[in-house]
Amino acid sequence: MGTIVSVIALAHAPGATGWLDKAPQHEQDALRAGYAAMGERLRAARPDVIVGVANDHLLNFPMESIPDWCVGTAARWRGPAEWFRDWVNIAPYEVAGERELARHIVRHAGRSGFNLAFSDRLEFDDNWSVPLKFLTPDYGVPLVPIHMNCVVPPLPQPQRCYEFGTVLADAVRAWPAQARVAIMATGGLSHDPGGPRYFAVDEKFDRWFLELLGTGDAQRVLRELTIEKMIAAGDGGTVELLAWIVALGAAGGRAAQTDFYVPSVPLRCGMGGVSWAV
């Protein structure tokens, strides 16, 4: 059976690899140190596979048909998608998939009331490219990417995201293979691509949210972290924190420890990461 050895959530904004030199030195240092510490702990947990959950930035699914979640079932992945290479400033890379686990998640979730889409053909942008570059720069840990809809309403509500996280964790534990599995949500924190606060960060919201995650009161998180509140903190970007709610569910609703937080206007994003004890 699968064992969950790590549950983490972290920001993936492209400025971290694309134009980090434009941030003040103290922001660069804090961000590099934060990602490095998260990467060290992740690698120390010796995962055989990472199951990732992140927003699909309107890259893979046309407006006609956007699934709440789509599990990547390919045996091998390539990134970044061509047009996003310059933007994220990351050289083309390959990372293995884990086809059997991915198929198992689709089947297991289907029996638990989640009609997941699945695909062998997912393109990656900053959602995976930025976290992998910092956390597993040799791309040595296979990835099951789960793309989710965080930005095109109607959205899966926080309660549904939490329930999906619990189902995802159940699926991992029910996988017959002996495997160590890390769960990694990416996205957030506050940012406003396409809105009037594109060049701003909502530090007050971010700190409130991180503190809320630290309470270990999952019901309170689900009650207080409404989609409206996320939209108010940065339309079109902050709602990516729905992926973190999936991770919260996978972690059994326990308290998250903040690993780092850097509100960075030059990167146009509240950058941070958290870990759950597993």
Partner 1 sequence: MSILDTDRTLPANKLIFEVRRDAALRARFRTDLEGLMRDYGLSEAERTALRQADIRRLGELGVHPYFLPQVTRLFKGAGYNHNESEAAQLYADKMLKERA
Where do we find the tokens 């046309």? Answer: 62
Residue closer to partner 1 by CB (options 195, 253) is 195
Check residue 104 for interaction with partner 1 (CB under 8 A).
Answer: no
Check residue 183 for interaction with partner 1 (CB under 8 A).
Answer: no
Count other Cβ atoms within 10 Å, centred on residue 100: 16
Cβ atoms of 216 and 253 closer than 8 Å? yes
How many residues interact with partner 1 (rule CB under 8 A)? Answer: 36
Cβ atoms of 273 and 213 closer than 8 Å? no
Check residue 117 for interaction with partner 1 (CB under 8 A).
Answer: no
Nearest to 243 by CA among 45, 46, 15, 70: 70
Residue closer to partner 1 by CB (options 61, 208) is 61
Distance CA 72, CA 154 (A): 22
Distance CA 197, CA 165 (A): 31
Residue closer to partner 1 by CB (options 151, 221) is 151
Give residues 134-173 in contact with partner 1 (rule: CB under 8 A): 151-153
Check residue 63 for interaction with partner 1 (CB under 8 A).
Answer: yes
Check residue 67 for interaction with partner 1 (CB under 8 A).
Answer: no
Of the candidate residues 81, 174, 255, 278, the single one contacting partner 1 (CB under 8 A): 81
Instruction: Please state the three-class secondary structure of 161-203 as a single string.
Output: HHHHHHHHHHHHHHCCCCEEEEEEEECCCCCCCCCCCCCCCCH
Residue closer to partner 1 by CB (options 37, 152) is 152
Check residue 14 for interaction with partner 1 (CB under 8 A).
Answer: yes
Check residue 22 for interaction with partner 1 (CB under 8 A).
Answer: yes
Check residue 111 for interaction with partner 1 (CB under 8 A).
Answer: no
Instruction: Note the Cα 136 to chain centre separation in Å.
Output: 15
Distance CA 27, CA 21 (A): 10
Check residue 25 for interaction with partner 1 (CB under 8 A).
Answer: no
Interaction site with partner 1 (CB under 8 A): 14-15, 18-19, 22, 57-59, 62-64, 81-84, 86-87, 89, 123, 151-153, 193-196, 198-199, 231, 235-237, 239, 265-266, 268
